[in-house]
Structure 1
Amino acid sequence: MTLRLYDESVGKMLIERNYPDSYYVHDGDIQECIIQLIPPYGNGFYHEICFENVHISFGNISLDNQLQLYFESDFDTVEMHFALKGKSMASSENFGKTVQFDSYQHNIIYAHRMQGKMDFYGPDLHLLEINLAPSFFKKFLPEYSGLFETFRNTIEKQQSSLITPDHNRISLEMYEILNDIMHCDRKGVFKRIYLEAKVSELLLLQLEQLFHNESSKSPIVKKDEEKMYAVRDYILNNLSTSCSLNDLAHHAGTNEFTLKKGFKELFGTTVFGFWNDMKMEEAKKMLLDTHMNISEISDIIGYKNPRHFSAAFKRKYNILPSKIGNR
Structure 2
Amino acid sequence: MALKLYEIDSPNLLLERNYPNTCFSLDTGIYESITHLDASFGKGFYKEIFFDGIHIGYGHANLFKRMRFRFESDFETVEMHFALKGSSYASGEMMPSGVSFDAHQHNIIYGNSICGKMEWGDQEFQLCEINLSPEFFKKFLPEDSKFFDEFRNAIDRGRSGLLMNLNRQITHEMYEIIDGITRCERKGIFKKIYLEAKIMELLLLQLEQLQVDDRAAVSLKKTDIDKIYAVREFLLQNIDGNSTLINLAHAVGTNEFTLKKGFKELFGTTVFGFWHDAKMEHAKKLILEADRTIGEVSDLVGYKNQRHFSDAFKRKFGIPPSKLKRNF
Structure 2 counterparts to residues 32-111 of structure 1, below 5 A: 32-111=32-111
Q: Aligned AA for 1:311?
A: D
Q: C-alpha displacement at 1:117, in angstroms?
A: 2.3
Report which stretch shifted further, 29-38 or 227-236.
227-236
Q: CA distance change for structure 1 residues 133 and 217 in 2, over 3 Å: closer, same or farther?
A: closer
Secondary structure, aligned partner of 1:118: strand
Q: CA distance change for structure 1 residues 133 and 304 in 2, over 3 Å: closer, same or farther?
A: same
2:292 is the counterpart of 1:295: no
Extract unaligned runs of 5+ from structure 2: none
Q: d(CA) in 2 for partners of 1:149 and 1:85?
A: 31
Q: d(CA) in 2 for partners of 1:122 and 1:41?
A: 9
Q: C-alpha displacement at 1:90, in angstroms?
A: 1.2
Q: C-alpha displacement at 1:36, in angstroms?
A: 1.6
Q: Give the aligned partner of residue 317 of structure 1.
A: 317
| C-alpha contact 2:92 2:117 (8 A) present in aligned 1 | yes
Q: Give the aligned partner of residue 135 of structure 1.
A: 135
Q: d(CA) in 2 for partners of 1:227 and 1:214?
A: 23
CA distances 1:302-323 after superposition (whole Å, capped 9, x unpaired): 1101222222122222233234
Q: How many residue pairs are counted as aligned between the two chains?
A: 326
Q: d(CA) in 2 for partners of 1:214 and 1:272?
A: 29
Q: d(CA) in 1 for partners of 2:287 and 2:214?
A: 37
Q: d(CA) in 2 for partners of 1:126 and 1:325?
A: 36
| C-alpha contact 2:166 2:214 (8 A) present in aligned 1 | no
Q: C-alpha displacement at 1:98, in angstroms?
A: 2.1
Q: Give the aligned partner of residue 13 of structure 2.
A: 12
Report which stretch shifted further, 270-279 or 226-235.
226-235
Q: Aligned AA for 1:11?
A: N
Q: CA distance change for structure 1 residues 275 and 191 in 2, over 3 Å: closer, same or farther?
A: same
Report which stretch shifted further, 112-121 or 100-109.
112-121
CA distances 1:144-202 after superposition (whole Å, capped 9, x unpaired): 22221111111011000101111100011111101111111100000000000000000
Q: C-alpha displacement at 1:214, in angstroms?
A: 7.1
Secondary structure, aligned partner of 1:97: strand
Secondary structure, aligned partner of 2:135: helix
Q: C-alpha displacement at 1:72, in angstroms?
A: 1.4
CA distances 1:37-73 after superposition (whole Å, capped 9, x unpaired): 1113521211000001110000111111122333211
Q: TM-score, normalised by structure 1?
A: 0.93
| C-alpha contact 1:58 1:127 (8 A) present in aligned 2 | yes
Q: Give the aligned partner of residue 150 of structure 1.
A: 150
Q: Aligned AA for 1:298?
A: S
Q: Give the aligned partner of residue 256 of structure 2.
A: 256
Q: C-alpha displacement at 1:27, in angstroms?
A: 4.8
Task: Report % sequence identity.
Answer: 52
Secondary structure, aligned partner of 2:298: helix
Q: d(CA) in 2 for partners of 1:304 and 1:32?
A: 42
Q: Give the aligned partner of residue 212 of structure 2.
A: 212
Q: d(CA) in 2 for partners of 1:28 and 1:227?
A: 43
Q: d(CA) in 2 for partners of 1:264 and 1:257?
A: 11
Q: Aligned AA for 1:291?
A: D
Q: Aligned AA for 2:93?
A: E
Q: CA distance change for structure 1 residues 288 and 71 in 2, over 3 Å: closer, same or farther?
A: farther
Q: C-alpha displacement at 1:212, in angstroms?
A: 2.3
Q: CA distance change for structure 1 residues 317 and 28 in 2, over 3 Å: closer, same or farther?
A: farther
Q: d(CA) in 1 for partners of 2:314 and 2:265?
A: 27
Q: d(CA) in 1 for partners of 2:77 and 2:97?
A: 18
Q: d(CA) in 2 for partners of 1:120 and 1:312?
A: 44
Q: d(CA) in 2 for partners of 1:274 and 1:206?
A: 21
Q: d(CA) in 1 for partners of 2:192 and 2:265?
A: 34
Q: CA distance change for structure 1 residues 7 and 296 in 2, over 3 Å: closer, same or farther?
A: farther
2:239 is the counterpart of 1:239: yes
Secondary structure, aligned partner of 1:117: strand
| C-alpha contact 1:280 1:313 (8 A) present in aligned 2 | yes
Secondary structure, aligned partner of 1:186: coil
Q: d(CA) in 2 for partners of 1:5 and 1:285?
A: 41
Secondary structure, aligned partner of 2:176: helix
Q: TM-score, normalised by structure 2?
A: 0.93
